[in-house]
Chain A
Amino acid sequence: MKKYTQLFTFFLLINFSAFSQTAEIKADQLTGVWEPSHGKARVKIDKIADKYFGKIVWLREPNDPSTQQPKVDKNNPDESLRQVPLKGYRILKDFIFKDGEWADGTIYDPENGSTYNCVVKMRDQNTLDIRGYIGIKTFGRTDVWKRLEIKKKP
């Protein structure tokens, strides 16, 4: 009987470990370079401290037409941060993978200096639904982002 209990515990542990590994692999599918539907920027999503963050790595128009200088975060509510360059800027912050989506994060819109709550869903390996909202998810807007380096289906 003792042997059976030990065997059962062993299989349980293996299953649990396999499950957590699968969950982590699924969560990490978010990492990579993505392009929003407007095509004006490309965002690289990476993992830091068990959360997911996205930063602008490419801008179609890197320079501000009025100054001819690299674009900066001129609409930031904190005046002391308005000279931070937009290239390299982290616009997606603090996403946690739970229940098959990346939630509890925020998205920053440099065009108006506003930060919105945000949830990310993966339609398929190369397509994301990024929903920004204020307060309740129902009142928001969804944008479709495409992966830049297309992953082939296994």
Chain B
Amino acid sequence: MLRHKTISNFLLVLASLILINCSGGNQSRLEKIRVNLKSEGPLYNGPNTATGIWKPAISQGKQVKSVRFTQVKISSIDTSLNGLAANLVFQLASSNAEMKKIAFFKGKALSNELVFQVAGEQENLEEFFKGQEITFVVDYDLIPDEWNENLTFTLEFDAELVTD
């Protein structure tokens, strides 16, 4: 009985060691990020752009190994986007990485909260997290002929971050 328990314990320790080795000590966590974006008015009918800056807070000595966006949505702040914007495309830009398209919303905004369709391919996004700041870019079509105020909204997203 005692021998059986010793073998079980040994196998348990062995399995844990294999798991630790295979994971390479990487840690995965889900980040919920909110960024305010702004388009400075006056704005005119057709393609426009809103931007916002976010500074990644990665612990010192840690490096982001991979990033995957799982959910992206926009909610209105001062102005209701309802009937104001259409065809929204969310991209990341940075001085040290090539612009990447992350998600899009096709059609007219018919509520104050828009859930985006997230891109299937999300390669090399970790490059953005190596810099000091990331610029979040949302391109959209303004529906009215003219809008004389600023347009502000919040971009909320969930991202799976794997760090070493």
Residues of A near any B CB (own CB < 8 A): 44, 46, 48-51, 53, 55-58, 72, 77-81, 83-85, 87-90, 93-94, 106
Binds A, one of B64-72, B76-84, B99-107, B151-159: B99-107
Q: How far is the CB of A106 from chain B (nearest CB, A)?
A: 7
State whether A49 touches B94 (Cβ < 8 A): yes
Supposing A83-B106, A85-B106, A90-B139 touch, asked if A50 and B95 sit within 8 A by C-beta, the answer is: yes
State whether B94 touches A57 (Cβ < 8 A): no
Supposing A80-B120, A83-B104 touch, asked if A51 and B95 sit within 8 A by C-beta, the answer is: yes
Q: Given the complex of chains A and B, what is the CA–CA distance between A50 and B120 in angstroms?
A: 28
| 8 A-B contacts (beta carbon < 8 Å) | A48-B135, A49-B94, A56-B47, A57-B47, A80-B117, A84-B104, A90-B91, A90-B139
Residues of B near any A CB (own CB < 8 A): 46-47, 49, 51, 87, 89, 91, 93-95, 98-99, 101, 104, 106, 117-121, 135, 137, 139-141
Q: Which of A50, A58, A88, A94 contacts B87 (CB 8 A)?
A: A88
Q: Given the complex of chains A and B, what is the CA–CA distance between A106 and B46 in angstroms?
A: 24
